[in-house]
Structure 1
Amino acid sequence: MPKWCDLNRDEVAAAARSGAVAVLPLGAIEQHGAHLPTGTDTLLAAAATTAAVARTGDIMLPALAYGCSLGHTAHWPGTLSLSVATLTAIVTDTGRWVATSGFRKLVVINAHATNGPAAQSALLTLRHEHPSLRTCFASLYDINAEAHKGYFSDADDPHANVAETSMVLHLDPDLVSLDRAVDEEDRTFSRVLTYPMPDVTHSGVVGRPTSATAAGGAALFTVIVDGITRLLEQVRAETEPIPDRAAELPSGDLHSPTKGPS
């Protein structure tokens, strides 16, 4: 199935009528040490989503390149961060127009941890405003147990680490300057407070990127694409918890909460 921006209006409408899921890749532009491109998160989110929707026939929205990267501060050049409020507004507005085009299921595929609060706040607003639009938020690093193990193999709070470096080596090796990679330990282990990146790393790296390989990146990328594919299959197949509930309840009571207390 083509990308949203490659379709004409009638093709978008036909995709919505067919039950296709709208999928929004969510990345970031931020420093990734001296060896990786600033667009690493956006590259990974877009590439993994592209591969997954090619299998499922769903529709990929244009990747949102900018994310919430306030933790990187101005200490290193290269970061272009949205505020929490701005990212929330962009995801909310995007979802509104997805619903306007007739789609009833929206999945956000995220590649950057601190996008989570803003994006999930947007999905809460969409649930309230558009009770017929069902939404889901998932991150590459938590899409399944194998992806989690691969992402966090060298740090509990990784950044520009072996996982990300290996996957960029797999996807576009010309973007990686492995000779400039440095390893740096994770200093956040057992801590309960949060810290900006300059307070926990000298180099902007957390983990061991010097051990990265393209083969390892290919294996991890495949695991992630498998996980997204499985999620989209579940999303497409999922039906309403209470059949015909939409005809019985006012709109404000329709959308069941996501997993966990609401």
Structure 2
Amino acid sequence: MLRLDRQPWREVRAAGERGAIALLPVGSQEQHAAHLPMGTDTLLAEAVVDAALARLAPAGGDPELVRLPALPFGHSPHHLFAAAVSLSAATLQAVLADVLDSLVRSGFRRVLLVNGHGGNDEIVRLAVKRCALERDVALGACSYWALGDGGSPGHAGRFETSLMLAAHPDLVAPVPPWRAPAEPPLFHRPPAPGLLVERHGEWERVGGTTDDARAADAETGRELFDARVEALAGAIRAFAAATDRSHGGGTREDH
């Protein structure tokens, strides 16, 4: 694995022109209750990505990868009631469009975005759809928790707290008492399968947490983490195999 921020430009460009996949983690900076840091989404996206890349062996037939620095800011207006550094949907979409365009101009024809924040999900998917319509590229997007048999991770509850206890235990503070809201938020438990429901003031009403983090533990976190890492490694291999014909796809533009 090459790190874009730690390699000379000629090595990075040559990797892209060989067909390497550029991989960008996308996170956020927002409240995660009183016990997790605001950078939880970015930290977990990076941890899962790096562990997945460690399982890939280009010499053994796995794809060559160039890991970009994580994009630390995301779309988090629903957390501004507490604390967040949020980009508007239009700004995040524009940032991703510029990043993807830069990578294409730098020689890459395959890019995978790995998202770590629920509020970014639709935006990262739209970004790859729009770029692929305009440029001769193969692009992918996923949220790390949703791969394989992954379900909804909730927010600042058992899932994320367990993962942080496995990946960054030094950043996890004691979990405060939690009181389940009388009426569960509809964004977390929709009234019908496949139905998205957003209601004004829900996040603030439930205190920005979806479930009780006191159920979290490091052993559960290691199991969840290993499953997410294995699923992402498999997704990278699948993306590489499905887009193999695009290694030299199209005519490279000179700039």
Give me the TM-score of the superposition, normalised by structure 1. Answer: 0.82
1:98 alignment counterpart? 103
Is 2:175 the counterpart of 1:168? no
Q: 2:185 aligns with which of 184, 187, 191?
A: 187
Alignment of 1:1-262 (within 5 A): 1-56=1-56, 57-73=64-80, 75-76=81-82, 78-130=83-135, 132-145=136-149, 147-148=150-151, 151-152=152-153, 158-180=154-176, 182=178, 184=180, 186-188=184-186, 189-191=189-191, 193-195=197-199, 198-199=202-203, 201-239=205-243
Instruction: State the distance in 2 between where 1:230 and 1:11 align.
Output: 26
Deviation by residue 1:31-74 (Cα, 9 ceiling, x = unmatched) = 0111110000000111111122233341111101100011123x
1:59-105 Cα deviation digits (max 9, x unpaired)? 111101100011123x21x3100000100011110001111121111
Q: Is the 8 A contact 2:185 2:202 kept in 1?
A: no
How far apart are 1:199 and its partner, in Å? 4.6
Paired residues, number? 235
User: Structure 1 residues 200 and 28, CA, compared in 2 at 3 Å: closer, same or farther?
Assistant: same
Deviations 1:139-170 (A, max 9, x none): 1121110x32xx54xxxxx2111010001111
Question: Residues 245 and 44 from structure 1, CA distance in 2 versus in 1: closer, same or farther, beyond 3 angstroms?
Answer: closer
Shift of 1:241: 8.2
Partner of 2:140: helix, strand, or coil? strand
Give the direction of change, closer, same or farther, for the CA distance of 1:23–1:179 in structure 2 (3 Å limit).
same
Which residue is 1:253 aligned to? none
Counterparts of 1:64 and 1:38, CA distance in 2: 14
- Structure with the greater relative contact order (CA < 8 A, sep ≥ 6): 1 or 2? 2
- Aligned CA-pair RMSD: 2.3
- Residue 34 of structure 2 aligns to a residue in which SS? coil
Distance 1:215 1:20 in 2: 35
2:75–2:86 Cα contact (<8 Å) kept: yes
Kept in 2, the 8 Å contact 1:162–1:208? The answer is yes
More displaced stretch, 46-55 vs 91-100: 46-55
Distance (whole Å) between structure 2 residues aligned to residue 3 and residue 196 of structure 1: 41
User: Which consecutive aligned stretches of 4+ in structure 1 deviate over 3 angstroms post-superposition?
Assistant: 183-186, 196-202, 239-242, 244-247
Displacement of 1:215 in angstroms is 1.1
**Residues 197 and 234 of structure 1: is their aligned pair in 2 closer, same or farther, counting only changes over 3 Å?**
farther
Aligned residue in 1 for 2:61 = none
Provide the C-alpha distance between the structure 1 equivalents of 2:11 and 2:177, rounded to a whole number of angstroms: 45
CA distance in 1, matches of 2:190, 2:202: 18
Unaligned runs of 5+ in 2: 57-63
Deviates more, 1:195-204 or 1:102-111: 195-204
How much has 1:197 moved relative to structure 2? 5.9
Instruction: Check whether the contact 2:175–2:213 (CA below 8 A) recurs between aligned residues.
Output: no
Cα distance change, pair 15–235 in 1 and its aligned pair in 2 (3 A): same
Q: TM-score, with normalisation over the residues of structure 2?
A: 0.84
Work out whether residues 53 and 59 of structure 1, in 8 Å CA contact, stay in contact via their aligned partners in 2: no
AA at the equivalent of 2:137: L
Query: Aligned pair in 2 of structure 1 residues 20, 79: CA closer, same or farther (>3 Å)?
Result: same
Q: 1:106 to 1:219 in 2, by over 3 A?
A: same
